[in-house]
Amino acid sequence: MNKVTKIIATSVVFGLLPFATVQASPDEDLKALQGFFEKKFPDVKDGDFINGVYAIDEKSREQWEEMEEMPPYELAVDEGKELWAKKFGNGKTYADCFKQDLADIRVAYPYHDEDKDDIMTLEGAINSCRKDNDEKPLKWKKGKLAKLSAYIAFEGRGKKIDVKVETDKAKAWYEEGKTFFYAKRGQLNMACADCHVYYSGNMIRGDLLSPTLGHTSHFPVYRSKWGSLGTLHRRYGGCNKQVRAKPFKAQSRQYKALEYFEAYMSNGLELNGPGSRK
């Protein structure tokens, strides 16, 4: 593609973004975006963005806090714990696949694997573990995989998100996720950033829009709308469908890049999964 069209395309996407200059490093993007949200929501206390819309809406926060006293994901965490301990056909367990202590697993993902040049997600690592032990992979968006993820998230609560983008290859994944996030898509022609940056804090019909900061901190999530637990990529698919775009598959290249970008933007925030949402 020639340079001129490329520049035009980018300036349409980033045109109104004071902070997302084309040449910015991930670190500059991070500072600019976090600064943007601090200004936009001056009342949100340090670190509270992990609570999504409840960080910016007192009324629904009260109901949510009541719900969290008897968390709807509690049973799923227990089931995840059983699954985690259950032996594979060969006598091994998940614990044999992960080199970290249980409490350090959640915070280790997502990361860029330089040799494979791929983004490793927690869900991806769980299914790789099964494959390495001759077990069938689990479905990506809900069910057993989400329960295992919930248990690992629960045990890993309180650690701070610390995603690294250090090499050129990692930077390319980051850029891919960033471009996806700011690009218009679907018949309704909306970007993630339209709803979760520019108009976050506004109502779209009956729904308050959350800031992207903290989006990855609390997954998997129990959503009352789903009536079950779902992974981050399940949610991504739902948000693509809302704008009548064809969703990508869970763990597709596109969603891994998106997770890498969104998680990087939440660096410094605490992990608080699993979560519950409307």
Nearer to other proteins, 56 or 125 (CB): 56
Minimum separation from the CB atom of position 244 to other proteins (A) = 5
Cα–Cα distance measured from residue 91 to residue 32, given in angstroms and rounded to the nearest whole number: 49
Q: Pick one of ligand HEC, other proteins, none as the site partner of residue 246 (Cβ within 5 to 8 A by kind).
A: other proteins
256 binds ligand HEC (CB under 6 A): no
Task: Report the distance separating Cα 178 and Cα 175, nearest Å.
Answer: 5
Q: Which residues bind other proteins (CB under 8 A)?
A: 12-13, 15-16, 186-190, 194-195, 198-199, 202-206, 244-246
DSSP state of 207: E
* Of the candidate residues 74, 78, 135, 194, the single one contacting ligand HEC (CB under 6 A): 194
Pairwise CA distance, residues 66 & 168, whole Å? 46
List the single partner that 52 binds among ligand HEC, other proteins, none, CB under 5 to 8 Å by kind: ligand HEC
What is the residue type of 251? Q
Compute the distance between CA of residue 209 and CA of residue 211 in angstroms, rounded to an integer: 7
**Cα–chain-centroid distance for residue 90?**
33
What is the rounded CA–CA span in Å between residue 129 and residue 119? Answer: 16
Q: Does residue 215 bind ligand HEC (CB under 6 A)?
A: yes
State the amino acid at position 179 in one-letter form. Answer: T
239 is annotated as an active-site residue: yes
**Which residues in the 50-69 window bind ligand HEC by CB under 6 A?**
52-53
Binding site for ligand HEC (CB under 6 A): 52-53, 190, 192, 194-196, 204, 207, 209-210, 215, 221, 235-236, 239-240, 242-243, 258, 277
